[in-house]
Amino acid sequence: MKLWWINLIDRGMNRINGRWASLFSLVFLAFILWVLPAVSQWGESIGLTQSIDTSFGLSADRLWAIAEGYGQPLRQAYLIQRWTFDLVFPLVYGGFLWVSGLYLVKRLKANDGLKMTLILIPLGVLFDYVENTLVSLVFMFYPQRIIGLAELAVLMIPVKWFFVMSSMLLVSGLAIGSILRPWVKK
């Protein structure tokens, strides 16, 4: 009996074709080219200059210092950004990686072991939401300090990036494998 995860992958592979993969690629590309720069520019224009999402090695004390430095108006703007843009973006990149991954494992006629690695993709999206939620809670409750909340929030940053980057590397590897497959002797 197959694992539920492999059954889910197999059902997804049966529904995915090149058109779906192209559509999700175009949506992702459009988001990267137009939406991401616009949101970044808006954030900078109002003073959201500290990038918490990409701050590796951020400490809980540093997160509190950012929350304090932002003041109430910028903390509010940060929360709006987290729960508008950052609600959609993980779905966009996650959808792109998921559909691309399904399409590529289908093209490669991948074994169940390789199919299992696709679990990295939803885990990346999940931990992105967990990180955004925890940082949002730190900002919402500021100046009240909830024990362990900021520490857990900063711990989620590298965890999220591990899964997101692993997902990107996986899909890139699958794409390279798909391109090279015709030239590799069996």
Could you read off the pLDDT of 133-186 as tens digits, one per residue?
999 999 999 999 999 999 999 999 999 999 999 999 999 999 999 999 888 765
Categorise residue 71: left if φ over 0, alpha if ψ from -120 to 50, beta otherwise.
left
Q: Is this prediction's pTM over 0.95?
A: no
Could you read off the pLDDT of 64-119 as tens digits, one per residue?
988 898 888 888 888 888 888 888 999 999 999 999 999 999 999 999 999 999 99
For residues 52 and 26, which has the higher predicted lDDT (pLDDT)? 26
pLDDT band per the 50, 70, 90 thresholds, residue 54: confident
Sign of the C-alpha dihedral computed for residues 42, 135, 164 and 13 taken in this order:
negative
Q: What pLDDT, on a 0 to 100 scale, did the predictor assign at position 115? A: 93
**Do 75 and 67 meet the contact criterion of CB atoms below 8 Å apart?**
yes
The CA distances from residue 143 to 51, 63, 118, 150, 157, in Å, are 20, 12, 40, 12, 22
**Do 90 and 11 meet the contact criterion of CB atoms below 8 Å apart?**
no
